[in-house]
Structure 1
Amino acid sequence: MNFIKIRGKNISITNALREYAEKKILKLEKYFEDDFTSDVFVSLKTYRNENKVEVTIPYTPLVFRAEESHQDMYAAIDLVIDKLIRQIRKYKTKANRSRRNKDYQVNDSTNKLGSTEDQFSVEREKHFILKPMDIEEAVLQMDMLGHNFFVFLDNRGGSTNVVYKRRDGKYGLIMSE
């Protein structure tokens, strides 16, 4: 890993805490190729009696990101590292399976195994007309439908936007450009 950037919010980062986080993050290196040179971003936050750790690892073609909360900051770091290891293993397993299936299909075109399309199959499609509305109306529609997100056409700019319900019960907005 190239660089580990650790920042804190409502907490001072002690040398012991920094060293512990860096040591745990460096254990993730074994899951990547030798030429992996990405920066790792770690955010440590404290709110009331809860400590939260967020780790982001940009890795082409995707980004590994995990967050965990715990009363003990060191335990939160352990939990977030465990979550990242599961994500990385899952990605590597799917990538290897996809590569094996592709190789098998090239070598034996008469007997085809499941393709990557089967692994990432779309279970259901929905088509609907986007209605122009403001953000408040979109949130109201989402709540009435009992969904955790809602796609709508912004009546101010005409762009396609998404409102969503966050884990903390508040709302978020994703705006297209």
Structure 2
Amino acid sequence: MEIIIRGDKIEVTAAMKDYINEKLKRLEKYLENSDNVRANVVVKVKGHMQTVEITIPLHNFIIRSEETQDDFYASVDKAIDVIERQIRKNKTKIKAKEAKTRIDFSIVDIEEEEHEENNIVKHKKIEVKPMDEEEAILQLELLGHEFYLFKNVDTNKEAVVYKRKNGGYGIIEAE
């Protein structure tokens, strides 16, 4: 597994890199052909809180975890536990979907700036990929987001799947 570690407003020390590498290596047993897998790790500091963001793009899915703690090592441990749980929980679903189709879920960051005069703090441009509703829900869960934009293969329209407050999911579809 190739591991890319970078710091955002923090210098990542050799000891921190070693700890992240050691912990991420335990995920290799779950990943087929782990030599072709790349894990992106971003370490951030805001005040006394340390955030570790781990993103692992797989063939059809992106597995992601972001954890914030007051201790760097606790953030790493918790983030990797979440990733491991996601992989184990969704391994059969992922394999089934990979067998059906090969879709690239690449997301390109355009700009990330904080503007105090408005509340937009991040812009992303994504390629909207065709998939069914079940696959969109799986991607939503793997990314840990509240909503996910996709092109519904059944209706050929852009749609958003989202988590409902009372449980379950909702879909908003463009006309």
TM-score band (shorter)? 0.5 to 0.7
1:54–1:95 Cα change, 3 Å: closer
Residue 58 of structure 1 aligns with an amino acid whose one-letter code is P
Task: Determine the structure 1 residue equivalent to 2:23.
Answer: 24
- The Cα of 1:22 is off from its aligned counterpart by 0.6
Quote the Cα distance in structure 2 between the aligned partners of 1:57 and 1:42. 9
Residues 18-167 of structure 1 mapped to structure 2, 5 A cutoff: 18-34=17-33, 36-95=35-94, 120=134
TM-score normalised over the length of structure 1: 0.53
- The Cα of 1:93 is off from its aligned counterpart by 3.5
Residue 20 of structure 1 aligns with an amino acid whose one-letter code is Y
Residue 85 of structure 1 aligns with an amino acid whose one-letter code is E
Question: Which residues of structure 2 form unaligned runs of 5+?
Answer: 98-131, 137-145, 150-157, 163-175
TM-score normalised over the length of structure 2: 0.54
Kept after mapping to 1: 8 A contact 2:65/2:79: yes
RMSD after superposition: 3.3
- The Cα of 1:120 is off from its aligned counterpart by 3.5
- The Cα of 1:34 is off from its aligned counterpart by 3.3
Q: What is the DSSP-based 3-state SS (H/G/I as helix, E as strand, rest coil) of the residue aligned with 1:61? A: coil
- The Cα of 1:94 is off from its aligned counterpart by 2.9
1:161–1:49 Cα change, 3 Å: farther
Question: Which residues of structure 1 form unaligned runs of 5+?
Answer: 100-116, 123-147, 152-159, 165-177
Q: What is the DSSP-based 3-state SS (H/G/I as helix, E as strand, rest coil) of the residue aligned with 1:52? A: strand
Residue 16 of structure 2 aligns with an amino acid whose one-letter code is L
- The Cα of 1:19 is off from its aligned counterpart by 0.1
User: How many matched pairs?
Assistant: 109
Task: Determine the structure 1 residue equivalent to 2:5.
Answer: 6
Residue 38 of structure 1 aligns with an amino acid whose one-letter code is V
1:49–1:33 Cα change, 3 Å: same
Q: Which runs of 4+ in 1 moved over 4 A?
A: none
- The Cα of 1:91 is off from its aligned counterpart by 1.4
Q: What is the DSSP-based 3-state SS (H/G/I as helix, E as strand, rest coil) of the residue aligned with 2:29? A: helix
1:118-171 alpha-carbon deviations (Å, 9 max, x no partner): x9499xxxxxxxxxxxxxxxxxxxxxxxxx77x9xxxxxxxx898x9xxxxxxx
